[in-house]
């Protein structure tokens, strides 16, 4: 997820590519299966992070559908991108906590 956001010019294509990457989190986590015992708290942090990544993807997709210089209704793309960044950062924070917690456990 650290590489989901591309540096450089934001285009509809880059936003859609970002969204595709972010949306893979929940299916990939589900593929790993639910852990037993001590790893459950890490799983729950990761699952919450994936939910935030999915929400970030929704905003990125919405922003990709609006011309970059539109003003007024619907919401300007920069507002939607702000929401996408907010959820991406929340997800990254949760993943960071899971990694830190997992490091302490080992």
In a domain, 93, yes or no: yes
- For residue 23, give its domain range: 12-105
Whole-angstrom Cα distance, residue 61 to residue 49?
A: 18
Kindly report whether the global pTM for this prediction surpasses the value 0.95. Answer: no
59 within some domain: yes
Q: Looking at the domain assignment, is residue 6 inside a domain?
A: no
Structural domain includes residue 1: no
For residue 44, being part of any structural domain is answered with: yes
Of 34-43, 48-57, 82-91, least confident by mean pLDDT is 34-43
Please report whether residue 4 resides in a domain: no
pLDDT, tens only, 64-75: 988 765 555 656
pLDDT range class, residue 88, cuts 50, 70, 90:
very high
Ramachandran category for residue 95: left, alpha or beta (phi over 0 → left; psi -120 to 50 → alpha): alpha
The number of domains in the chain is 1
Residue 22 domain flag: yes
């Amino acid at each position: 997820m650290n590489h989901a956001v591309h540096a450089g010019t934001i285009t509809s294509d880059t936003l859609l590519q970002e969204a595709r990457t972010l949306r893979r989190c929940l299916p990939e986590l589900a593929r790993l299966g639910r852990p037993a015992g001590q790893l459950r708290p890490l799983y729950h942090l990761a699952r919450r992070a994936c939910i935030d990544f999915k929400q970030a993807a929704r905003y990125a997709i919405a922003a990709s559908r609006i011309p970059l210089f539109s003003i007024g209704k619907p919401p300007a793309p920069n507002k939607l991108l702000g929401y996408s960044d907010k959820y991406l950062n929340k997800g990254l924070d949760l993943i960071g906590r899971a990694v830190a917690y997992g490091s302490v456990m080992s």
